[in-house]
Structure 1
């Protein structure tokens, strides 16, 4: 046991020395666009609550009523005694709203990607994936018997070369519509052109786009996506995730997806709340407009001050580089009452650390005017 403990301590010490150590602060509560920590209130730029539904009093009351009515747990796997009609009704509603044949709910986006990508393919399938896909997708592919080949981030030219070499094999392209760290959007028309030419199956993770982008928050990838991954835990203000799929894929997952078969399903109260969220989502055009405008104001303001920042929507990636420096910038901003993520390896490539700025409809122009001068002050002192 002593050797075991020492090995863990050594690994943690080396992790700390490399500027990669993670120890998030305890959060007492959330209030609008702010967090309350032990040291006081901080303005939160590290949230995925893009529309503010996660702190909506309306949704809070609806969810509370649903859990009071239906109880707190399904108490079973979906494949045993947890296949409630209300869950199936909610899944049908999500499929209709987002324009797919079927939907399937999961307790988390990580589990959804794991179930989907570890189950669908066989050894004759070639999966071509954008090299910046989410860690859960990487893990799902690692459990798949498929042949794997990455293509350079957002490079349709590199993808085309991969497709040219694929031949007649069953081919799948896996990507995201809004990348969670880079903040850039998928070139949907360009990918659609490749799909028309090569006929591949296309899977798009829309976790950061659904609810926010597209008409009614329906995302941007439907013209090209055969399968889409969505989440409740970001713009939709709840928890859990969902897949949008053809009916045969849902049937296949019910029969072969270990993460679905051997997990307790989400409760009926979650399904009732998910239905309530769809009604709210359809009425969020003003919040979506506010989010678009405040995100653009932040990006333009940072660039005017000489910062290198990327992002096509509400996720902005501000270039820092060295891991220790990114952590120090984040810590010093927190001392000034601003909370922002220092995204470091392995979340982003080594030596390419960023500040990952998550904008929400709860942010104001005053928040932007506070953030940019604070960042300038911190950067001058490092």
Structure 2
């Protein structure tokens, strides 16, 4: 009976065009991936600055793991609270302009910790309806009531603020992972002055790639900010920036932190090297911005509706089946792209999500836009 139920649900996914069976990637260099012996131009990577394959970082990571070993072998609350991890956390807090920081094994885990632990029945969480799935899951696991507001609608948020029963906490992102757009941060700052709420901002897709020195774009409004190493920073894991009081509270009450093995010391050493690369990465950021503008122009000139204000672009398709068919054909033409379908996006609003990296060439963009135009006719 149990196996039958699983098979039925999988069959239904296939009928709806929502079945997921990703190809196995054999190799890659940041700009391309190899699948079944074929080299494809990769538009599905979040390695925005190209640091994931940076030779300097690879050497420093190798040296760090050789010196410190491969595992912390303990949670942070037992013997895993290594001095080098604290050094790196403080360096990140200083660089991004916060009192303190905590490293986590993943952004998903970090969002679970923040949203299920810091807030309780005395608060009301008001969240943008396009926030990441980990944010939603964190709220569901917590005890604070939560209500959504329309995506990037400061007017709707203000209505929610006026009717909130507990102390309001606004939860949003600085660069949305599927839409590629940003909230009206100046308007959000004005609302914050008027209503005095706390703000949690997921800057996972902005840190490293946007803002002065890659410091993101939401510091003016964010009391707590989440970043990931696994995107523009080319590593793995995540970090949360916050006041020292919040860090102390999480160390005492956050299950996703207390009951998990700490990241290894070598990770912290490599994270410090990453921070140096991010700080001097203006050239990479400028190139990424230029490539993003060019691809947007190429696609819109060919009649596509493209959303996105930075290095994440969402090409509007609509039908889940058509979107899947297009990325399959693009694969055959030598392009690795990702379709976001329900439940990642609302039903009937499927997109082809394009991620750019500073390692792409202008010819990559020109050839891709030509291919997509040809295949969509």
TM-score normalised to the size of structure 1? 0.98
Shift of 1:188: 1.1
The residue that corresponds to 2:93 in the other structure is: 95
Alignment equivalent of 2:284, drawn from 287, 303, 326: 287
- Equivalent in the alignment of 1:321: 318
**Residue in 1 aligned with 2:79?**
81
SS in 2 for 1:329: helix
**Alignment counterpart, residue 48 of structure 1, candidates 46, 49, 60:** 46
Question: In the alignment, is residue 140 of structure 1 matched against residue 138 of structure 2?
Answer: yes
1:26 aligns with 2:24: yes
Query: Aligned equivalents of 1:365 and 1:70: distance in 2?
Result: 41
Q: 1:241 aligns with which of 238, 241, 260?
A: 238
- How many angstroms does 1:159 deviate by? 0.2
Instruction: Kindly indicate whether residue 362 of structure 2 is the aligned counterpart of residue 365 of structure 1.
Output: yes
Q: CA deviation at 1:32?
A: 3.4
Secondary structure of 1:27's counterpart equals coil
Runs of 4+ in structure 1 deviating by more than 2 angstroms, as ranges, are none
2:81 alignment partner, SS class:
coil
Partner residue, 1:166 = 164
Determine the C-alpha separation between the residues in 2 that align with 1:368 and 1:244.
35
CA distance in 2, matches of 1:71, 1:7: 44
Q: 2:178 aligns with which of 170, 178, 181?
A: 181
Structure 1 residue 341: deviation in Å? 0.3
1:111 pairs with 2:109: yes
Query: Which of the residues 288, 298, 301 maps onto 2:298?
Result: 301
Separation (CA, whole Å) in 1 of partners of 2:353 and 2:30: 19
Q: Cα deviations across residues 76-132 of structure 1 (Å, max 9, x unaligned)?
A: 000011000000000000000000000100000000000110001111210000000
Separation in structure 2 between the aligned mates of residue 134 and residue 158 of structure 1, nearest angstrom: 19
Aligned 8 A contact 2:76 2:257 in 1: yes
Q: Give how far 1:165 is off.
A: 1.1
- The answer to whether 1:220 aligns with 2:193 is no
- Residue 196 of structure 1 is matched in structure 2 by 193
Please list the CA deviations of residues 162-216 of structure 1 after superposition, one character each: whole Å capped at 9, or x if unmatched: 111125x311000000000000012111100000000000000000000010000
The answer on whether the counterparts of 2:128 and 2:171 sit within 8 Å (CA) in structure 1 is yes
| Contact 2:30-2:52 within 8 A present in 1 as well | no
SS of the residue corresponding to residue 173 of structure 1 reads strand
Query: How many angstroms apart in 2 are the aligned matches of 1:89 and 1:148?
Result: 35
Question: Which residue does 1:208 correspond to in 2?
Answer: 205
Q: Distance in 2 between matches of 1:63 and 1:245?
A: 27
TM-score by length of 2: 0.99
Residue 333 of structure 1 is matched in structure 2 by 330
Question: Residue 345 of structure 1: CA displacement?
Answer: 0.7
1:257 partnered with 2:293:
no
Residue 135 (structure 1) shift: 0.3
Superposition deviation, residue 39 in structure 1: 4.3
SS at match of 1:127: strand
Equivalent in the alignment of 1:230 = 227
